[in-house]
A and B are shown apart, each in its own frame.
Chain A
Amino acid sequence: MKKLSDKEVERLVKISYLELDNEFINNSAQSLTNIINWVQELKSIDTSSVQPMFCLADFLQQNFSTWRNDDVVNNASVNEILLNVPEKEDVFIVVPKVIE
């Protein structure tokens, strides 16, 4: 049985940009561990001659792509872009100061 340490769960929480309470982390650690072990079953399968399939096109080996032409059409207006923005000022989206 592979088990995730608290530290590993914390790292996942961090890179997922979540902030979870201890109870949820404990619950999650358990179900994560369950799922991870469930996934371990896959390791025994011989896939040496198999190409991974990330989407249907990979499997069907479709030999076409859908393209956009290099034409400029209908930019959204600033108002439409800012419509749902929680913090905005003038024509800008606003965030707390970030300094590099």
Chain B
Amino acid sequence: MSDLIQGKTSQWEIVIGLETHAQIISKAKLFSAAKVGFGDEPNTNVSFIDAALPGVLPVPNKFCLQQAIKTGLALNGHINLISYFDRKHYFYPDSPFGYQITQFYKPIMENGYFIIELANGNKKTIKINRLHIEADAGKLLHDHHPKKSFVDLNRVGTGLMEIVTEPDFRNKEEVADYITKLRVMLKSLGVCDGNMEEGNLRCDINISVRKPGEQFRNRVEVKNVNSVKFIKEAIEYEVNEQINIWENGGEVKQQTKLFNAEKGTTYTLRTKEEAADYRYVREPDILPIVFTKLEVDELKSQIGELPEDKKERYINDFALNKDDATLLAYDNDNSMFFEQAVANNVHKNPKAIASFLITNLFALLNANNLPISKSKITPTMLANLIDLIEDKTISSKIAKEVFEKMWVSGKNAADIVKDDGLIQITDVLEIENVVLQIINNNKDKVAEIKAGKDKLLGWFVGQIMQQTKGKANPDLVNKLLKKHILG
């Protein structure tokens, strides 16, 4: 797929950079001891610091900074052992201090990169300009009163990481893959829950278009877009609009816009001329933020295998297909379950485990509306079940039945197989007896098969399985049928 768009007069290249705000997972806020919570009673998770009372002083929460450093390391960035907080001034009721505490001049991390996957399967490196830490704002509620807005300060001061890319994206699919993969990585690191609906992960998209080979043209920033679908829609709309303006002799003004999710359009919030003068200045209430290399190394050692690496390993070492590998690797609980099962599987057949897990366990979890962490069947139980198939104790058909019984009873596969007499019949003579009996009783059908109606062979298999209650080894059944019917 070419990244160039054919307009009326020219081809156009899309240029996109992304600023992603990720709410840091922590118990307390970034600068106060108030609780971080979603959906609590309004103005109950607020300290005097969050409400910016006179005389209060922010004290940074070390854990929030450690979370950001972990993320910075996972983004392959350079961690600044000394960084600073700055004040960004703006007046709004969601910002009690009249400024946001952020890192403007020297962020905690710079110069990282992140690898995305293109539609053709190739990889592309997206440069990460910086990751900085800042305090979130409160919320305004507009629907309570016709003439008034209500202020809820609960979210004020919650820790945020802002991850800023270079303008390296050339189409909306790249952006979508970036945000999807980034979200998975943040969740896997335990630094952000990735919940886009609640706004815990949201994007500002910087979009411009240019003719190939040109310098950058004016860009439009679409703020606070909070789903992958909306991000794609916003880009789609904005790109068309910009190309239209340029091709009709107009000029795209540098501006800040918002996305209207209902209409799938963007609209202007403020133009460059109206842009706030943020008057960035060092936050004098907080000393320089100092970490030692030892502390950073310790944090680095806490980072486990990242989802992308895990996925590659599942494909390369376990021979999983890409979809299965993605499904398991992108979720910490899934991959933990899977890998524990693999570890307990005597016959070492990860592919069989993955396939069984995805087909059967996920179905049961879905039906019971349970997360995998609450599964009644443990990884070891699954591993043992797969071993029973592998060593031909049961057939895979029986395995499914056993699995359902395990879920209901909580019993081990081996016990169920034994108690219910489900052990596969692998004795040739025993199966041959059944086979011969069925053949003798159905001579007419044998004749039809011999005349070329091969499909009837399946009917015979069914009959034999019925007779043996599904326990006959299918390979043997097939082999013996062919031997006695086709000679």
Chain A–chain B contact at Cβ < 8 A: yes
Interface residues, chain A, CB within 8 Å of chain B? 15, 17, 54-55, 57-58, 62-78, 80-82, 89, 91-100
Question: How far apart are B193's CB and chain A's nearest CB, in angstroms?
Answer: 16
Q: From the candidates B33, B60, B91, name the one contacting A72 in the complex (CB within 8 A).
A: B33
What are 7 of the A-B contact pairs (CB < 8 Å)? A57-B287, A62-B288, A67-B61, A70-B61, A72-B35, A81-B48, A81-B51
B287 and A94 within 8 A (CB): no
Chain B CB within 10 Å, residue with most, of A17, A67, A70: A70
Chain B residue contacts of A74, Cβ below 8 A: 33, 47
B284 and A92 within 8 A (CB): no
Using known A-B contacts A72-B28, A93-B153, determine if residue A57 contacts B288 with beta carbons closer than 8 Å: yes
B289 and A65 within 8 A (CB): yes
Q: Within the assembled complex, what's the spacing in Å between the Cα atoms of A96 and B147?
A: 6
A58 and B288 within 8 A (CB): yes
A75 and B149 within 8 A (CB): no
Stretch of B37-45, B183-191, B330-338 lying at the A interface: B37-45
Chain B residue contacts of A92, Cβ below 8 A: 42-43, 141, 144, 150-152
Residue of A nearest to B37 (CB): A72
B62 and A68 within 8 A (CB): yes
A65 and B290 within 8 A (CB): yes
A93 and B93 within 8 A (CB): yes
Residue of B nearest to A79 (CB): B43
Residue of A nearest to B64 (CB): A70
Chain A residue contacts of B145, Cβ below 8 A: 89, 94, 97
New contact pairs (5) apart from A68-B32, A76-B47, CB-CB < 8 Å: A75-B34, A81-B43, A98-B92, A98-B140, A98-B142
Chain A residue contacts of B153, Cβ below 8 A: 81, 93
Q: Within the assembled complex, what's the spacing in Å between the Cα atoms of A71 and B36?
A: 10
B91 and A17 within 8 A (CB): yes
Q: Within the assembled complex, what's the spacing in Å between the Cα atoms of A54 and B152?
A: 33
A78 and B59 within 8 A (CB): no
Residue of A nearest to B159 (CB): A70
B148 at the interface (CB under 8 A from A): yes
Main secondary structure of the interface of B (DSSP, over half): loop
Chain B residue contacts of A55, Cβ below 8 A: 282, 284, 287
Question: How far apart are A50's CB and chain B's nearest CB, in angstroms?
Answer: 16
B4 at the interface (CB under 8 A from A): no
Chain B residue contacts of A15, Cβ below 8 A: 277, 279
A93 and B151 within 8 A (CB): yes
B299 at the interface (CB under 8 A from A): no
Interface residues, chain B, CB within 8 Å of chain A? 26-28, 31-35, 41-48, 51, 59-64, 91-93, 140-142, 144-153, 258, 269, 277, 279, 282, 284, 286-290
Chain B residue contacts of A96, Cβ below 8 A: 147-149
Q: Within the assembled complex, what's the spacing in Å between the Cα atoms of A63 and B152?
A: 37
A62 and B150 within 8 A (CB): no
Question: How far apart are A90's CB and chain B's nearest CB, in angstroms?
Answer: 8
Chain A residue contacts of B288, Cβ below 8 A: 57-58, 62, 65
Question: How far apart are B13's CB and chain A's nearest CB, in angstroms?
Answer: 31
Q: Within the assembled complex, what's the spacing in Å between the Cα atoms of A80 and B43?
A: 10
Using known A-B contacts A67-B60, A71-B27, A78-B43, determine if residue A100 contacts B33 with beta carbons closer than 8 Å: no
Q: Within the assembled complex, what's the spacing in Å between the Cα atoms of A1 and B277?
A: 26
Question: How far apart are A58's CB and chain B's nearest CB, in angstroms?
Answer: 7
Q: Within the assembled complex, what's the spacing in Å between the Cα atoms of A54 and B51?
A: 25
A66 and B287 within 8 A (CB): yes
A62 and B44 within 8 A (CB): no
Chain B residue contacts of A65, Cβ below 8 A: 60, 286-290
Residue of A nearest to B287 (CB): A57
Using known A-B contacts A55-B287, A65-B289, determine if residue A72 contacts B43 with beta carbons closer than 8 Å: no
Q: Within the assembled complex, what's the spacing in Å between the Cα atoms of A34 and B290?
A: 40
Q: Within the assembled complex, what's the spacing in Å between the Cα atoms of A98 and B92?
A: 10
Q: From the candidates A63, A69, A76, A95, name the one contacting B61 in the complex (CB within 8 A).
A: A69
Question: Which 4 pairs of residues, A with B, have the shortest CB-CB distance?
Answer: A70-B63, A92-B150, A67-B62, A93-B151
Q: From the candidates B35, B92, B289, name the one contacting A75 in the complex (CB within 8 A).
A: B35
Q: From the candidates A77, A80, A100, name the one contacting B269 in the complex (CB within 8 A).
A: A100
Q: Within the assembled complex, what's the spacing in Å between the Cα atoms of A78 and B28?
A: 18
A95 and B149 within 8 A (CB): yes
Chain A residue contacts of B152, Cβ below 8 A: 92
Q: Within the assembled complex, what's the spacing in Å between the Cα atoms of A81 and B43?
A: 8
Chain B residue contacts of A80, Cβ below 8 A: 48
A72 and B34 within 8 A (CB): yes
Question: How far apart are A38's CB and chain B's nearest CB, in angstroms?
Answer: 20
B42 and A70 within 8 A (CB): no
Chain A residue contacts of B61, Cβ below 8 A: 67-70
Question: How far apart are B50's CB and chain A's nearest CB, in angstroms?
Answer: 8
B148 and A70 within 8 A (CB): no
Chain B residue contacts of A62, Cβ below 8 A: 287-288, 290
